[in-house]
Structures are given as structure tokens and as C-alpha cells.
Amino acid sequence: MYETRYHRPGSLSEAAKIRSDATDGQYLCGGQTLIPTMKHRLASPSDLVDLSRLSELRGISEHEGVLTIGAATTHSEVASSDDVEKAIPALVTLAGDIGDPAVRHKGTIGGSLANNDPAADYPAAALGLGATIHTDKRTIAADDFFRGLFATALDDGEIVVKVGFPVPSKAAYAKFHNPASRYALTGVFVAMTKAGDVRVAVTGAGANGVFRASGIETALSGSFTADAVAGVAVADVDLLSDMHGSAEYRANLIKVMAGRAVASIG
């Protein structure tokens, strides 16, 4: 790793100032992507600004039909939260199946969303539930947040503070793991809002990152059953094709995982 300066600010405003004053400052929270990148000498920030202990970025609460999770909340904390289990059990399932115990105890929801890895789990949850991402400057709807592989609507230096998930009437997540990395080879988050709208988000399969599966949404709007999913034709256009699976294989996995998600709701 290259030489770098480590900072532990006491507030968001202090964190922002430290980063802006640095030659090449980077925010650090869980560090599950940044630290390995630095170890491989693919990144060499002059300063690391640790956000993980800021109280402003922590906590889980539910109020008036919205489950709010602080950006520095770890996957393990989400997976073990009674508040999350009561409001959106699908998030407990998703968080509890990320990586391994070491990753779950360090990785954070805000870091996952800001990094927007094309095979990460939380982007599917945010898009599938129609979440709102709150930053230190504004709020961004999930439909507007994800901009492609590792790209988001965040401006340079903008910090994710918390995420608001509307509590759905029902939701589920089904994931086909890459056996080595535990990332999603294909993962599908299915949700029905309180108003009866269906949202289906896919991760791990898209060449441009997380996306909504409109054909499956339409089918489930007519009949919220696994059989309805089975009748949908999923094209392999704009899907990933690599050593782990072809685009055609991933197209089939989208249907299979969506069907499993719906079936699990009962």
C-alpha cells in the first residue's frame, strides 16, 4: 500500500472539510472495496477520512411507513435488527447473505450503495423498494441514483447519510451466488408497494449494473405468482457474459430467481 494519512473526524462537516483540503482524499467506512484496491496499488489516496464512527450515519428506525437505515450501519446490524425484521424481512435475508461474517461485520449499506458494484445486493433492494438516498446535500430517488457500473448520481465529495425504504406490503430477495466471491451471479428483489405497485430489481446480471425488470413487473402486476414469472420471456440483450455465465444463462437465472423470490413470500 502507498503512504496515506488517516483521519477520524467528529462530524460530517469536519469530514467534508478534511477531504476537500486533501490532495486526493477518500472517504472510508467499511473499507471492503477501498482497502483491497489500495493493497493492490490500484488506488493511492493521500488521505483517508473515516466515517464509520459518526453518530450522524448510524441507527435504524421506522416511522410512518418508512424504514430508515444510517449509512454506516453494517450488514450484520441490518441482518440482526428486530426493527428491520418487523418492517422489511427481505432486507434481513439480503444482509445476512452478503459475503462472509467478516465482510458483514465491516461492510456498510452506505458504502455498498455509493460503490454500486454491478453484483452487489443492496442496489437491488434500494431499486426494488423505491428507496430514497439521503446525502449531506440532498435526497435522491433510487430510480435516479444508479448510473451504470460503479457510477451513481453522487457528486464529488457528497456523502450518503441514510437510506429510507418505504415499507412494502410484501417483498423478497433471491440470489444465485458466485461460489467463490459470494457476490450475486444474479439476484432479484421483488416487492409490492402498499399501493399495489410491483417493482422488480436485478443485480449481478446487467452489463450496465442494477436494473428493473419491466416484463416481470408487468406479469406480477396481473398475477403475483411464480407461474406468472415463468411465462415471461427475458431477453439476454444488455446482460453480462463472462467466465461465470453467459448472457443467456443469466437471462434464465433472472426468471428462476424472480420465481423463487415470489414463491418464498407465500
pTM value is 0.96
Which pLDDT does position 60 carry in this prediction?
Answer: 98
Of 32, 50, 68, the residue at which a domain comes to its end is 50
Residue type, 20: S
Which pLDDT does position 179 carry in this prediction?
Answer: 85
> Backbone phi, then psi, for 124, in 5-degree steps?
-65, -40
Which pLDDT does position 1 carry in this prediction?
Answer: 59
Q: How many CA atoms lie within 13 A of 140 on its CB side?
A: 23
Same domain, 29 and 88: no
CATH code, 87: 3.30.465.10
Same domain, 31 and 64: no
Same domain, 195 and 256: yes
d(CA 223, CA 91): 23
d(CA 156, CA 59): 25
Total structural domains within the chain: 3
Same domain, 111 and 139: yes
Query: Which residues, other chains included, contact 174 with Cβ-Cβ below 8 Å and sequence gap of 6+?
Result: 187, 188, 190, 257, 258, 260, 261, 264
Same domain, 20 and 87: no
Same domain, 131 and 82: yes
Question: Which whole-number Å values give the CA distances from 90 to 25, 199, 216, in the listed order?
Answer: 35, 14, 19
Closest CA to 130 of 184, 196, 201: 201
Same domain, 195 and 158: no
Number of Cβ atoms within 10 Å of the Cβ of 139 = 11
Same domain, 181 and 79: no
The DSSP element (H or E) to which 201 belongs, if any, is strand 198-203
CATH code, 245: 3.30.390.50
Q: How many CA atoms lie within 13 A of 58 on its CB side?
A: 10
Same domain, 213 and 244: yes
CATH code, 14: 3.30.43.10
Same domain, 155 and 214: no
Number of Cβ atoms within 10 Å of the Cβ of 225 = 15
Backbone dihedral region of 150: left (phi > 0), alpha (psi from -120 to 50 degrees) or beta? left
State the DSSP string of 100-142. Answer: -HHHHHH-BHHHHHHHT-TT-SHHHHHHHHT-EEEESS-EEEH
d(CA 187, CA 183): 9
Are the beta carbons of 34 and 26 closer than 8 angstroms? yes
Same domain, 148 and 202: no
- Walking along the chain (266 residues) 10 residues at a time, the average pLDDT comes out as 89 95 93 87 92 95 98 98 98 96 96 96 98 98 97 97 98 94 94 97 97 98 97 96 96 98 92
d(CA 110, CA 134): 10
Which pLDDT does position 168 carry in this prediction?
Answer: 98
Range of the domain at 82: 55-166
Same domain, 79 and 131: yes
State the DSSP string of 37-74. Answer: HHHTTS---SEEEE-TT-GGG--EEEETTEEEEETT-B
